[in-house]
Structures are given as structure tokens and as C-alpha cells.
Amino acid sequence: MKLDLKRIAVTDGETIPFSYDADLTKEEMNGEYPFRTPVHVEGEVRNHLGVLNLHATVRALYQTQCARCLAPVNVDLNVPCDMILSAEVQDDERDDIYQLEGDSVELDDIVIPALLLEVHMTYLCKPDCKGLCPTCGKNRNEGPCGCDGRQIDSRLAVLQKLLDKDD
């Protein structure tokens, strides 16, 4: 969403509220498309003593899989985004200043990266998820699988045969 800032750039205390939905269904992350519903962005740009401050909240439903058992996981994201909008940036190292090009700002260029930076690499269906059995692939959260818990290195399998003969 493009926001025209001419109206508030010269008047102290003036605000421009905004509220819109962004479509991120084509945004790929880690080989999947986790944003299957619209992302809601809400906030305002305020002129405070000649400085334009953007305050926004980004709400999204992030749909992914558990990193251990592959069960579906839905994560409600609620990301605050605060940024200073300036035509002149003196310090390139500050990440809270967005450099304006002209009299308008494309809000998606600010709020969508803020949302994506808040997404974790992995999510779990529950903190004590037991995951999948590496041998048979059964979900260990549903109960034991019955596989032999011992894993024998294939290079030592011949020695295991010697132990089995003694029984």
C-alpha cells in the first residue's frame, strides 16, 4: 500500500492512519508457502516535531510443520513495527530509519520484512514433542513403535553376528 506523506510532512501532530490486508500467499519460506491467509497491517504515520514516525502492527497466521514430527503447526504472529521515515539518512548503521524517496512510502517495503524477520527457522507442535522414529517413521507422540532401540553401525554388524551366535 502506497501512502502519500505530503499532507502531514509540514504539520506537527498530524497523522495518517492505515489498515489493509497484504497477500503473501506466493511468499516462499523454507520450501513451503506458509502464509495462506491475508496478512493484516494496521497503524499510523505521525508527524512529531517534523519527524515522521511509523507505528504499525502486522498480524499473520503462519502455517508450517513441526520440526520433529511433521504435524501441522499454526502460529499466530503479532509483530510490532516502529520506524522513522526520513528523506536524509545520516547514519547507515541504524536499522530504525527508513530512507524516503519522494513524498510517499510503500508500506509493504517496511512491514513485510519486519514480519519475515520475526519468523523462526523451526516450530514445534508442543515443547516436549518426541518426533518420529528414525527406523520406522512412526510418530512417537502417539506411543512407542516397537522398534529395537539399538542402532548398530553397519561396519560393526559382523561383530553383532558373533554376539548373536553365543546366545
The answer on pLDDT for 98 being more than 90 is no
Output the DSSP codes for the chain.
Answer: -EEE-HHHHTSTT-EEEEEEEE--TT--BTTB----SPEEEEEEEEEETTEEEEEEEEEEEEEEEBTTT--EEEEEEEEEEEEEEES--S-TT-SSEEE--SSEEETHHHHHHHHHHH--S-B-SSTT---B-TTT--BGGG------S----GGGHHHHHHHHHH-
- pLDDT band of 49, cuts 50, 70, 90: confident
The residue-averaged pLDDT of 40-52 equals 90
pLDDT attached to residue 161: 76
pLDDT digits (tens, 9 = 90+) for 53-79: 999 999 999 999 999 999 999 999 999
Q: Give the residue extent of every domain in the chain.
A: 2-129, 130-167
pTM of the model: 0.77
